[in-house]
Amino acid sequence: MMNQLAPPLSLLLLFFFLSTTTTTQAQTPAQPPAPSGPPNITRILEKAGQFVIFLRLMGTTQEANQLNNQLNNSNNGMTIFAPSDSAFSSLQAGTLNSLSDEQKVELVQFHVVPTFLSTSQFQTVSNPLRTQAGDNREGQFPLNVTTSGNQVNISTGVVNTTVVNTIFTDNQIAVYQVDKVLLPLSIFGPQTPAEAPAPVTTKKKKAAADAPSSDDGDSSGGVGLAVNVMVVVMFIGVGVYAAFVL
């Protein structure tokens, strides 16, 4: 009796196991990989939560869109030194408002290096770094980076600051927090005074100096002419006198 029931029971258990496995696999299909893409600078800084002024400056100058587009179309990566709100608050009142639109763009670009730099690469970079602002010659937009142990120091020729925190980093973009706004020399450095224009009277004075004076040959020529006239008059007088006498 038991031997007759054993095969059907085994088949029933096997059928139940296969049905359960099939149902479980149908309910949990394999998930596709998440789409990959370059990070968004604005979202990174917004998530950090203490870069409101820098974000506003990037927005009004349209540099946020420019930098995000650059990340999408470049393999060089990017490094950003982001000043916190407290760094901006330490500036003299009215500093940002005194800048022209072009200078505001240059200020944002001065905080961006158009290549990816990890913290270890700061020890071997060549100074001055060329920033997004362009010209790194002395008196323009030089940015010098030095290290002391694990500390990264930055100098612009106007301010000296340090990297105080790594906000975000991967193989494409690195965002570092700095405790001061990076002020470039070309905008905030001592301005070379413009040369004073030459006096207008200089040429007149020179012309007067070159002109012959009253003591030159022209005056002597005038005296000679007067003497000759006197001689002619004398001869005429003598002739008239002789005519009357004779």
pLDDT in tens, 110-135: 999 999 999 999 999 999 999 998 76
For residue 19, give every residue at least 6 positions away whose Cβ sits within 8 Å of its Cβ, in sequence order, or none: none
Relative to beta strand 112-113, strand 78-83 is: antiparallel
Which residues form the domain of 68?
Answer: 41-188
Residue 232 predicted with pLDDT over 50? no
| Mean pLDDT of the residues in the chain | 75
58 located within any domain: yes
> Structurally, how many domains does the chain consist of?
1
Specify the CATH number for the domain of residue 77.
2.30.180.10
In a domain, 172, yes or no: yes
Alpha-carbon gap, residue 58 to 163, rounded angstroms: 20
- 48 pLDDT more than 80: yes
